[in-house]
Structure 1
Amino acid sequence: MSDLHPPASTPAPSASAASPDPVDRSAEHGQLRMVATRFLRHRMAMASLTVLVLTVLFAFLGPLLWPWDHTVHREILPNQPPSWAHPFGTTNAGHDVLGQLMRGTQQTLKVALTVSVLATAFGALWGAVAGYYRGWIDAVMMRIVDVLMVVPLLVAVAAISGNVRGGTTWWAVALIIALFSWTTIARVVRGVVLSLREQEFVEAARAAGASDARIVLHHLLPNAAGPTIVAATLLIATSILLEASMSFLGFGIQAPDISLGLMIDNARTAAFTRPWLFYPPGLFIVMICLTINFIGDGLRDALDPRQTITRR
């Protein structure tokens, strides 16, 4: 006579196992942690980010702590070399050069970041639409890009800035530069989208009934983030140099305001006689451009899904 055993009961699936949401969220968090880890291990990018943060604090918080601003003060003796009271000396009109450097860095950063945001947003959308639809839409949109790219950027920006009322304010200068700076990003994003539109995830999105706008905004543009970020960081550096060139030629930010390019223009005859007027703004321009480029390099490596080796 065999022993009778009751049938083993099958355990009911838990709520967490039945719902895929926690798994999806954990996968997203894991991807974000991987991106953050890759970026944090990029030593040049982290060092550059530290320098950039210190530069931003210098530009935006420094004027709140330093007693002298960028304007003329009767209490300041003109043409003074660097001292404890004025670490970067004074100008022949009675400006504190350190106060000018803070204000000039602030205005230059505002122009560059505004240009980068506006030009990247418009250029990425333009390139993604052209690459996704192809055909005559792509041909027309890219011919517009070709025409704008043929126009000399500095000449076009200077001409418009010189004929637009209020063109000497930082906001107007940023808008004018952005108007001609989005074409490179549009070409970069179009090239990436032309290859991405043939991938299986785009076909799956179409089969699921996703609209063209959703495919472009939620599938193509996020997957083109790496090249877009690199192009955007290069655009920041280009905008800084372009704004400096405009101010140097008299078409950018003008007195009584100040920018790094205008500081170089005002001190162009004092490069050897009073170097404390000429070299600090130039060194700040070079430093900001280098740090932004290294940060973009680190973000590209961190966001690239094909990147398997973390740069140290």
Structure 2
Amino acid sequence: MSDLQAPTSAATPPSADPPTDAPDTAAHGQLRLVLARFVRHRMAMTSLAVFVLTVLFAFAGPLLWAWDHTVHREILPNQPPSWDHPFGTTNAGHDVLGQLMRGTQQTIKVALTVSVLATAFGAVWGAVAGYYRGWVDAVMMRTVDVLMVVPLLVAVAAIGGNVRGGTTWWVVALIIALFSWTTIARVVRGVVLSLREQEFVEAARAAGASDARIILRHLLPNAAGPVIVAATLLIATAILLEASMSFLGFGIQAPDISLGLMIDNARTAAFTRPWLFYPPGLFIVLICLTINFIGDGLRDALDPRQTMVRR
């Protein structure tokens, strides 16, 4: 009888707790997917390589080149390109290559500073407006609408012309950032309006999370994709604004130099001494194009609905 007796209980597998690193694994998997999409975007990768080389030219080049952006008595004025001065010299005795390195460096510093400041402020502004809605949203977004109506170049030029110390690059960056955050605020507000009703936000409220924690820890990270793309494109906008301000005489001024100021100084030599006029203009176009293609690649990589990547 004992041989025919069925077992009273089936063997149960050993209990296994769910892995504690599951969220991290999912996040790493998503990051790898984004990186794979970005790497497959040929124009974005090519543009990234060109932009990195431009940054090295601007920041490492002055350490290796014999001449800086200032006037040197040893330099013969108004000389065409040569082995000693590949981009020629100016009437005052500047080495144009040294000026180009310094001008690219200052322009990139202004653009990156504007992108960081405007993105941070605009993202928080848009997230607060989208989260609270109602009269808070109305007041905050009407402020954005008023600032967007004001011509951006006119506003930054007017302030730059009346601010003492406006010739330094960081003051120029602050002035541009003051009027450049509105687009990012509208983008983030639209994303937060769709996210605030999601289950993870309701769960955070039920757990007793404060509004500030929900905005900073839950809503803004989930809006990172559009924010990163907008911040990347803002770099190109800041470069053009800084060049325009310097060209009009309201941006970085001598004895410092920027790409826009180089164009302004050589505007009468476009046909007689093209080595003074065209290199800074080409660098402005090159940087803006590479940034736009990088932003295009980031947009495709971060879009969860993207199934194919343009090559």
Q: What's 1:301 paired with?
A: 300
Question: Partners of 2:2 and 2:221 in 1: how far apart?
Answer: 65
The residue type equivalent to 2:232 in the other structure is: T
* Structure 2 gap ranges (5+): none
Question: Partners of 1:22 and 1:256 in 2: how far apart?
Answer: 55
- Per-residue CA deviation, residues 58-104 of structure 1 (Å, 9 max, x unaligned), is 00000000000000111111111111111111111111100000000
- Per-residue CA deviation, residues 129-172 of structure 1 (Å, 9 max, x unaligned), is 00111100011111111221122211211121111111110011
Q: Following superposition of structure 1 onto structure 2, how do residues 232-271 of structure 1 map, counting pairs within 5 Å?
A: 232-271=231-270
Q: What's 1:137 paired with?
A: 136
Aligned residue pair count:
309
Tell me by how many angstroms 1:21 deviates: 1.3
Q: What's 2:171 paired with?
A: 172
- Per-residue CA deviation, residues 189-240 of structure 1 (Å, 9 max, x unaligned), is 1122112222333223323333222221122212222222222122111110
Give RMSD over aligned pairs: 1.6
Pairing partner for 1:12 from 11, 14, 39: 14
- Per-residue CA deviation, residues 37-63 of structure 1 (Å, 9 max, x unaligned), is 111111111000000000000000000
Residue 21 of structure 2 aligns to a residue whose secondary structure is: helix
Q: TM-score, structure 2 length as denominator?
A: 0.95
Question: Partners of 1:306 and 1:213 in 2: how far apart?
Answer: 29
Question: Partners of 1:11 and 1:279 in 2: how far apart?
Answer: 74
Q: What's 2:120 paired with?
A: 121
Q: TM-score, structure 1 length as denominator?
A: 0.94
Q: What's 1:41 paired with?
A: 40
Question: Partners of 2:81 and 2:306 in 1: how far apart?
Answer: 48
Q: What's 1:231 paired with?
A: 230
The residue type equivalent to 1:125 in the other structure is: V
Percentage of matched positions with identical amino acids: 88
The residue type equivalent to 2:31 in the other structure is: L
Tell me by how many angstroms 1:9 deviates: 5.2
Q: Following superposition of structure 1 onto structure 2, how do residues 47-58 of structure 1 map, counting pairs within 5 Å?
A: 47-58=46-57
Q: Indicate the larger mover: 237-246 or 185-194.
A: 185-194
Q: Residues 54, 249 of structure 1: CA spacing in aligned structure 2 closer, same or farther, 3 A cutoff? A: same
Q: What's 1:288 paired with?
A: 287
Question: Partners of 1:230 and 1:29 in 2: how far apart?
Answer: 20
The residue type equivalent to 2:275 in the other structure is: W
Residue 18 of structure 1 aligns to a residue whose secondary structure is: coil
Q: What's 1:209 paired with?
A: 208
Question: Partners of 1:128 and 1:11 in 2: how far apart?
Answer: 48
- Per-residue CA deviation, residues 244-265 of structure 1 (Å, 9 max, x unaligned), is 0110011100000000000000
Question: Partners of 1:81 and 1:193 in 2: how far apart?
Answer: 56
